[in-house]
């Protein structure tokens, strides 16, 4: 039997920062991280295995952060949890007693109940190296690939699988634009720009179509759509989202909801006071409305991990709710979204003012690396606070959307953003005269007045 003051189950985007944060706040405690994988994949990097980085081994979370912080690692699968006895049991028969426990068991891919979905060469993306090696080999031998779902998973897989391959790629999406769920608008500039970039790459996009059947005998040969069309396919990637992995928690009697995850409070504590849950397996609530949320992102997982790790023995941090910050890039085009769209905010009862601004992200615009950057900011008219924003531009847009998220979290008003002090330089930022965030806020103020 082993014993540790703190045990973390799961070694991905939630488990690693949870363990490291616990070490920083409780330096005298013994910490053990238990994971079933010998090597852990970077979740958001999985699509890039199929193009940019080339193989699963080039997309791994290093163990250095754990080792340098004197966190013990056990590679084994946890098969049972006994909250009353404050112990876990692994597949190898190891019993481990804990004082505090953090569950970071992640999520599983959603697989829709479509006839034929279990045929060969149909893949719902598992975070497993051997699984992804098999998928990579299969894609290398594929001529016609269909990707179900045009969210971030679908967009990135379609783009990466098209790279360096003579392959036909078709995305099938129920809504009328790619990335529409993330960006939340019925018609969105960012979504249209991404669609145009994908089409320029030679990727076919079929929107407002539902996949009704996977055709073929043992392996997929095509897919049938709701309008009767049949698209040829010798491989199908299902990328419609994930669901919380709550099996271990529910078997042990912890409160959980299959649709939302293990029930936690604002300290990340479960229904058992000595057990915390973080990441995709844990329940979430909206920063804006306090209502349950189904946002599952690695950035949210790390946010929750740093709250739980600090709160194990003393309550030091509180979860303010999830904002939701997304970004992706196709062929040099970066798009991002933070918080609520204007439509989403209106649907929640907010009276919304919108400001937009576009300018080069360098000054003058002849500087190397220049790209146009468009920013849209959404404000609550009742108090002037920013509640969301979208961005489209070059690679620098990926960090600017994080700035917008910080503005949201700190409840900055349009006046605050219009007058905040910025640093600019010709080679790396937009002109201070044309700075997009400032001017978008000014345009929203004009609408409010």
pLDDT in tens, 353-368: 999 999 999 999 999 9
Domains (range + CATH), the chain: 2-108+243-311 (3.50.50.60), 111-240 (3.50.50.60), 325-448 (3.30.390.30)
Positive or negative, the Cα torsion across 15, 127, 47, 171? Answer: negative
pLDDT for residue 319: 98
- The H-assigned helical ranges of 241-391 are 247-251, 298-311, 342-347
Confidence of residue 187 (pLDDT cuts 50, 70, 90): confident
Indicate left, alpha or beta for 287 from its phi (over 0: left) and psi (-120 to 50: alpha): alpha
* Cα–Cα distance, 49 to 47 (Å, whole number): 5
Are 127 and 56 in contact, with CB atoms under 8 Å apart? no
Length of the chain: 449
Cα(198)–Cα(200) distance, rounded to whole angstroms? Answer: 5
On the question of pLDDT at 165 being above 80, the answer is: yes
What's the rounded Cα separation, in Å, for the pair 439 and 108? 42
Residue 258 has pLDDT above 90, yes or no: yes
DSSP 44: G
Residue 10 is predicted with a pLDDT of: 98
Q: Taking residues 340-345, report their average pLDDT.
A: 96
pLDDT of 426: 96
* CA distance linking residue 139 with residue 122, whole number of Å: 11
Please, what sign has the CA dihedral across residues 362, 363, 366, 372?
Answer: positive
CA-to-CA dists, residue 270 to 78, 138, 252, angstroms: 18, 41, 12
pTM of the entire predicted model: 0.96
CA distance 435 to 390: 15
199-207 average pLDDT score: 96
What integer best gives the mean pLDDT of the chain? 96
CA angle 379–384–387, rounded 5-degree value: 35
Predicted pLDDT of residue 449: 85
């Amino acid at each position: 039997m082993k014993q540790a003051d703190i045990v973390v189950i799961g070694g991905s985007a939630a488990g690693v920062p949870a363990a490291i944060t616990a070490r920083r706040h409780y330096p005298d405690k013994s910490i053990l991280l238990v994971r079933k994988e010998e090597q852990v994949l970077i979740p958001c990097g999985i699509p890039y295995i199929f193009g940019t980085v080339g193989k699963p081994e080039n997309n791994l979370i290093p163990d250095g952060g754990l080792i340098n912080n004197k966190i013990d690692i056990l590679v084994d699968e946890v098969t049972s949890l006994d909250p009353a006895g404050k112990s876990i049991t692994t597949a190898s028969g190891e019993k481990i007693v804990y004082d505090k426990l953090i569950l970071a068991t992640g999520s599983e891919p959603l697989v829709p109940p479509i006839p034929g979905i279990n045929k060969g060469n149909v893949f719902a993306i598992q975070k497993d190296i051997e699984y992804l090696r098999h998928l990579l080999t299969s894609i290398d031998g594929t001529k016609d690939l269909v990707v179900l779902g045009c969210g971030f998973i679908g967009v990135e897989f379609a783009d990466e699988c098209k790279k360096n391959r003579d392959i036909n790629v078709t995305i099938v999406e129920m809504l009328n634009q790619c990335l529409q769920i993330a960006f939340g608008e019925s018609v969105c500039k960012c979504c249209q720009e991404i669609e145009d970039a994908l089409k320029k790459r030679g990727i076919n996009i079929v929107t407002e179509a539902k996949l009704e059947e996977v055709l073929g005998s043992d392996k997929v040969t095509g897919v049938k759509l709701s309008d009767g069309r049949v698209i040829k396919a010798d491989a199908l990637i299902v990328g419609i989202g994930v669901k919380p992995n709550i099996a271990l928690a529910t078997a042990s009697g912890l409160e959980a909801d299959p649709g939302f995850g293990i029930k936690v409070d604002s300290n990340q504590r479960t229904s058992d006071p000595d057990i915390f849950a973080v990441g995709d397996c844990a329940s979430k609530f909206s920063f804006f409305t306090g209502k349950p949320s189904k946002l599952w992102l690695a950035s949210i997982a790390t946010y929750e991990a740093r709250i739980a790790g600090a709160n194990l023995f003393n309550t030091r941090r509180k979860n303010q709710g999830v904002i939701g910050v997304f970004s992706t890039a196709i062929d040099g085009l970066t798009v991002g979204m933070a918080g609520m769209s204007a439509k989403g905010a209106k649907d929640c009862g907010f009276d919304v003012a919108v400001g937009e601004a576009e300018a080069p992200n360098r000054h003058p615009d002849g500087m190397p690396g220049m790209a146009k950057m468009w920013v849209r900011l959404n404000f609550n008219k009742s108090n002037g606070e920013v509640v969301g924003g979208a961005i489209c531009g070059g690679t620098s847009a990926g960090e600017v959307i994080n700035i917008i998220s910080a503005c949201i979290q700190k409840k900055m008003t349009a006046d605050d953003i219009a007058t905040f002090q910025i640093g600019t330089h010709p080679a790396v930022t937009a002109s201070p005269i044309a700075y997009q965030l400032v001017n978008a806020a000014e345009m929203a103020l004009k609408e409010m007045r």
